[in-house]
Amino acid sequence: MKKNSRIILLFLIPFLIVIFLFGIFIYATVSNYSEDYLFRLLEARANKVAKERFAGETNFSKEEPSDKLPHEKDFFIPINDKLDIISESKKVGVDELFFKDVIKKGQARFVTNEYLYKGIKYKSKKSDFIVITVAENYFEINQAENLIKTMLFAITAAFLLLLYIAVYYSKNIFKPISAITEKVKEISSENLHLRLSEDTAKDELYELTSTFNDMLDRIETSFETQNNFISNASHELRTPLTAIIGEADVVLAKPRQTEEYVEALKIILQEAEKLDNKTKALLFLAQTGFNGKVQKFEKVRIDQLIWDVKENLDTLNSKNKIHLDMELLPENPLKLKVNGNIQLLHLAFSNIISNACKYSDNHVTVSIGASDDYVYIIIKDKGIGIPENEIKYIYDPFFRASNTKNYEGYGIGLPLTRNIIRMHNGKILVTSIENQGTTVQITLPSIKTLS
Amino acid sequence: MRKTILIPTDFTVNSLNTLKTVLTNNSSDTSLDIILLHGLTLNDSIRELLFFSKMKQIDSLTNNEFEEAYEVLCNKFDSQINSFKIDLFTGYNQTAFNSYLKANKVETIFIANRKQKLSNRKSFDLSPFIRKSNVEVITLNTNTETLQQEKGKITEVFLNQVSIS
C-alpha cells in the first residue's frame, strides 16, 4: 500500500506542477493579448476623437455614441506653460509619469484594475494637446474571472482523471510482480518442477522470470541428481552386502568342511572388495563435486561419452543391443567437443538410452553428428512410443505414459535429462508415434575451436 | 582427382539424403566440388531485378535445420569436399541450363527419383532440364517412406538410407 501511494504521488506532483505552470502561462498570454488589443482600440479612438474635436467635424460626432467603447471617457489637455501635471493627473486618475511619457514619447499606457488609459500627443493647428482615452478594463472585469474558473475546473478535472490513472497504474504495474510472488510462494522442495510462466514480451520482467526459472532448473537438477544418485548408490551398496549376508548365513547353517569355509570366505572377500571399491568410488565422487554444489565444466568428447554410456549399460543388462551409428561422425574430432560436466551428461544419456532400451526390446540406434556450432545426438528406437496426446506431459516429474504399465520406472529420468541438457544450453526434442517408436534428438553447443 | 557434381535441391533436410548417398559412395581419392542447385523464376519487374540479391534470396529459402544438416554432412566428409555452394538457377530454357553446366564445369548430376517439394511459388522443378542436358545423369533410388514424426527435423539426414541404383 505504501508503494502504491508513493507511485501515485510520483505521478501527480510533476503533473500538477506542469499543469499549473501551463495555466499561468495561458492566463498571462491571454490577458496580455487582450490588453494589447484594447490599447490599440483606444489609440484609434483617441486619434478619432481628437480629429473630431479639433477639425470641428460636427456631423461625425452625431454618429459617435454607437462607436464608443464601454465606459469611455476622453480628456483633452493642452500642452502649454500653464499645464499642471500633478493636478491634471489627479483629475484623470493616472500617474504623473504618464504625462511625462506622453510629452516625451508621444504616447503612453496606464493600467488600473478597472480602467485602461491611453494617452497620445496630438498636434492640432492651434497647439499640441494630450488626448487621453479611458475605457473599462474589459478583460479584467468580464473575462479574467471566467478564465480562471475555467482553468481551475480543467485542472481539477485533469487532476481527478490522472488520480484515477495513477491509482490504476500503481495497482497494475505491480500485478505481474505480485503474480510472480504468489507463484514463487507455491514452489517448495516438494514441487520443484513448477515454473513461472514466461511472458513473450522481452522486458525486464521476462528476464526476471527466466532467470528465476533457470535457477529453478539448476536447483531441481541438483535435487534430482542427488535423489537419483542416492537410490542408485544404495542399490549398488546393497547388492554385495546381500551377497555377503547370504553367503555367511548359508555357511553358518551347519558345520562344514574346511574347503567349504575357504570357498565361502573367498566369496565374502570378493564381495567385500566390491563393496570397498564402491565406497571408494562414492568418496571420490563426493570429493569431485558430484554433490550438486559444485559442478565442474570441462571439455567432453561426445563420442567417447556415448561409448562409455553404452559400455555401462551393456554391463547392467546384457540383452541390450545398442547400435552406435558413426556414419555421420565428423572427420575432425574437435567438432565433437562440448563444454560440460561428464557425470551429468553421462547420467542424461544413460537415462535416454536405457529408456529407449527398456521400451523397445533393446534395439536402439544412436547416431552422432556435428555441424560447425552444434553436436547432434539422435537416439532412435522402434518401441512402444508415446501416445500423441500425452507427449506434452513427458517432462513432468513422475508422469508415465498410459502404455508403460508393464514397465518399471518412476518417471523422473526425462525431466532430469532435460534439466541437464538445459544446463548445458542444449536442446532436447522428443518425437514419437505410438507403437512405431520414439526419436530423441539432443543438440549441444560445441566448443568453438580457433583453428 | 577433382570432380564437379550438381544436385538439385528443394531446401528440405530430406533432399540432402541424395548428397549423403553421393558422398558415402564416393571413392576417397576424388575430391568433389558440390553445387546444390535450386530453380527460381526471376521476377520481371525492373525494381525487383535491380535489387535482386542471390545471397538474400538463398537466405530466405533455406532454414536453420537445412543449414545445420549440410554442415553435419560437410563435417563428416570434410576431406572429400573441395568446395560447396548453394546456387540458384534463374534461366528459362535448356540453352541457359546447358551453359550454366558448362560454365561451372559440371561433370555429373545426381538426381533423386522422388518428387521435389517446392515450397516457394516461384521455384520450379529442374528435372526436365537435367534429363535433356548433355552431361552424365545418375538417378538415385530413395526410399520414399519417411516417418512422419521426423519430418523436417535434422534427424532425417541421420536416419534415412538411400541406395544407388
* A205 CB burial (10 A radius; 0-12, 13-18, 19+): middle
Judged against a pLDDT cut of 70, whether residue A411 lies above it is answered with no
CB A327 within 8 A of CB B75: no
A433/B77 CB distance under 8 A: no
Coil, helix or strand at residue A197: coil
Q: How far is CA A258 from the centre of its chain?
A: 78
Could you say which of B73, B76, B153 has the minimum Cβ distance to residue A429?
A: B153
Q: How confident is the prediction for chain A on average, in pLDDT?
A: 81
Cα radius of gyration (chain A): 49
Does the CB of B153 have a partner CB in chain A at under 8 Å? yes
Cβ-defined contact of B150 to A432 (cutoff 8 Å): no
Quick check: B71 and A325 CB within 8 A? no
CA–CA distance, A8 with A217 (Å, rounded to integer): 38
Q: What are the beta bridge partners of residue B6?
A: B35, B109
Burial of B46 (0-12, 13-18, 19+ CB in 10 A): exposed
Residues in chain A with CB shorter than 8 Å from the CB of B20 are: 328
Cβ-based neighbour number of residue B22 at 10 Å: 22
Is B23 within 8 Å of chain A by CB? no
Q: Name chain B contacts of A431, Cβ cutoff 8 Å.
A: 149-150, 153, 155
> What gap in Å lies between CA B49 and CA B43, rounded to an integer?
7
Nearest chain A residue to B68 by CA: give it: A371
Cβ neighbours, 10 Å, residue A72: 16
Greatest alpha-carbon pair distance for chain A in Å reads 164
CA distances from A177 to A151, A168, A171, A188 (A): 39, 15, 11, 19
Q: How far is B29 from chain A (nearest CA, A)?
A: 15
Element at A250 (helix H, strand E) = helix A204-252
Q: Per mean pLDDT, which range of A160-164, A249-253, A311-315, B160-164 is the poorest?
A: B160-164
Query: For chains A and B, what is the number of CB pairs under 8 angstroms?
Result: 73
Residue of B nearest to A443 (CA): B154
Would you call A294 exposed, middle or buried from its count of C-beta atoms within 10 A (0-12, 13-18, 19+)?
Answer: exposed
pLDDT value, residue B158 = 73
Locate A310 and state its grid cell: 553404452
**Residue contact A327–B76, C-beta within 8 A:** yes
The per-residue pLDDT for range B131-144, each reduced to its tens digit, is: 888 888 888 876 65
For residues A63 and B72, the model is more confident at B72
Task: Give CA–CA dist A354/A342, Å, rounded.
Answer: 17
C-alpha cell at A68: 464608443
Q: Which of B65, B76, B79, B156 to mutate to test the interface with A (most CBs of A within 10 A)?
A: B76
Is the Cβ pair B157, A327 closer than 8 Å? Answer: no
A326 CB neighbour count, 10 Å cutoff: 13
Confidence of residue B165 (pLDDT cuts 50, 70, 90): very low
User: Looking at the partner chain, which of B67, B149, B155 has a beta carbon nearest the beta carbon of A378?
Assistant: B155
The mean pLDDT of A268-274, rounded to a whole number, is 86
pLDDT digits (tens, 9 = 90+) for A153-170: 999 999 899 889 888 888
pLDDT in tens, A19-74: 999 999 999 999 899 889 888 888 888 888 888 777 765 555 444 555 677 778 88
Confirm whether the ipTM is greater than 0.85. no
Q: In chain B, what residues touch A325 (CB-CB under 8 Å)?
A: 158
CB of A262 less than 8 A from some CB of B: no
Helical spans, DSSP H, in B5-163: 16-24, 46-50, 54-61, 64-76, 94-103, 127-132, 155-159
Mean pLDDT computed over A352-381: 87
Is pLDDT above 80 for A369? yes
pLDDT tens profile A221-254: 777 777 776 776 777 788 888 989 998 999 889 8
Average pLDDT rounded to a whole number, residues A403-427: 79
Single-letter amino acid, residue A94: V
Contact A369 B75 (CB under 8 A): yes
Q: Which of A404, A362, A346, A401 is nearest to A229 (CA)?
A: A346
Per the CB < 8 A criterion, the answer to whether A71 and A135 are in contact is yes
The DSSP letter of residue A189 is G
Q: How far apart are CA A163 and CA A151, in angstroms?
A: 18
Q: Which of B154, B17, B73, B12 is CA-nearest to residue A441?
A: B154
pLDDT band at B12 (very low <50, low <70, confident <90, very high): confident
Question: If you measure CA to CA, which chain A residue comes closest to B81?
Answer: A331
Choice among A99-113, A397-411, B14-28, B149-163 with the minimum mean pLDDT: B149-163
Q: Chain A contact for B77, CB < 8 A?
A: yes
Nearest CA in chain A to B151: A431
Gap from A286 CA to chain B (nearest CA, Å): 37
pLDDT value, residue A289: 46
CB B146 within 8 A of CB B41: no
Cα A213 to the center of its chain, rounded Å = 14
Express the helix, strand and coil content of chain A in percent, nearest 5 each. Answer: 60, 15, 25
Take residue A308 and report the three cell numbers written for it. Answer: 562409455
> Please, what sign has the CA dihedral across residues A33, A38, A44, A47?
negative
Choose the weakest-confidence range: A33-42, A326-335, A398-407.
A398-407
